[in-house]
Amino acid sequence: MLEAEKSHDGWCAELDLQFARHAAKTVLARRMHRGPLTVQKAFYPEGGVCHVYLLHPPGGVVAGDRLQISAAVEPGAHALITTPAAGKFYRSSGQQARQTVQLNVAEQGCLEWLPQETIVYQGAKLHTDMAIELAANANFIGWEVLALGRPAAGEGFADGSAGLNWRISRDGRLLYLERQQIDSQAFQARWGLNGHSACGTLFASPTTPQHLAAVQAWIGEDADKAVTQIEDLLICRALDQRADRLRQFFEQVWRLLREDIAGQTACAPRIWAT
């Protein structure tokens, strides 16, 4: 463990994880961290799949904080990463908070990146980069759910910004690149979120046209949900007024796809029920 670093500009925290297959189960082979970012012990609610929970003890990210997370899944290993509670980005007086996530999945490996929702308070300024490197025969399911403002407290998103970048590559070839900027205009505009306080995206790979058709049938005529496919990458998007309902929808899609992609029937992390 490296010594925590705190400057007048905010926390600098890093977490580096490596998952390896050992006999019939996946183990957390490496865990290195600096600053207030770590994981609990590994859990095994479904046999050999390694479940871990990301922990950020301060309970939220403020202006100037910089979080860096990396996770590598070795050949044949299977890990599920989630969080014990919603993440929080607080109001900023000017500085930007940054979060960088790098995920690497080797041949025949599987990674499920399923954090609970991220709450972006009005006035927050954040930038996130998500880079996913998949080997030719790697498997991945992941989502990102944002809750903008606190509608239950009468707070919208009249001020603040969230820059969200996704980069997904397979076998060294770029498969998907997205740069998304959400501010007060995008929050209200019909071409943006149209006032919805929650938005999210789910990615799954590899998938087939049959998976696409199954998710399309599940969505039906709901205008706030959509799904498409780029090669073998399935992309599902949704809007809602409540982040919990949006995440429940993604859980349903995850349950629909998981056995084919991850080779396991759905087994929700116990922490989701608390």
207-251 per-position pLDDT tens digit: 999 999 999 999 999 999 999 999 999 999 999 999 999 999 999
The residue type found at 12 is C
53-78 per-position pLDDT tens digit: 999 866 678 777 899 999 999 999 99
Cβ atoms of 83 and 144 closer than 8 Å = no
Q: Hey, which residues does 94 pair with through a beta bridge?
A: none
pLDDT score of 3? 38
Neighbours of 178 (CB within 10 A): 12
Structure tokens at 188: 């209200």
The HSE-up count of residue 253 (CA atoms within 13 Å, CB side) is 32
166-194 per-position pLDDT tens digit: 999 999 999 999 999 988 888 888 888 88
94-125 per-position pLDDT tens digit: 788 899 999 999 999 999 999 999 999 888 88
What sign does the CA torsion over 253, 216, 110, 33 have? negative
Using CA atoms, how far apart are residues 143 and 201, in angstroms rounded to an integer?
Answer: 6
Domain boundaries, the chain: 5-262
pLDDT score of 36? 85
Greater pLDDT, 77 or 153: 77
Q: What is the pairing mode between strands 139-148 and 118-120?
A: parallel
pTM of the model: 0.93
pLDDT at 13 over 60: yes
Secondary structure in 3-state letters for the chain: CECCEEECCEEEEEEEEEEEEECCEEEEEEEEEECCCEECCCECCCCCCEEEEEECCCCCECCCCEEEEEEEECCCCEEEEECCCCEEECCCCCCCEEEEEEEEECCCCEEEECCCCEEECCCCEEEEEEEEEECCCCEEEEEEEEEECEHHHCECCCCCEEEEEEEEEECCEEEEEEEEEEEHHHHHCCCCCCCCCEEEEEEEECCCHHHHHHHHHHHCCCCCEEEEEECCEEEEEEEECCHHHHHHHHHHHHHHHHHHHHCCCCCCCHHHHC
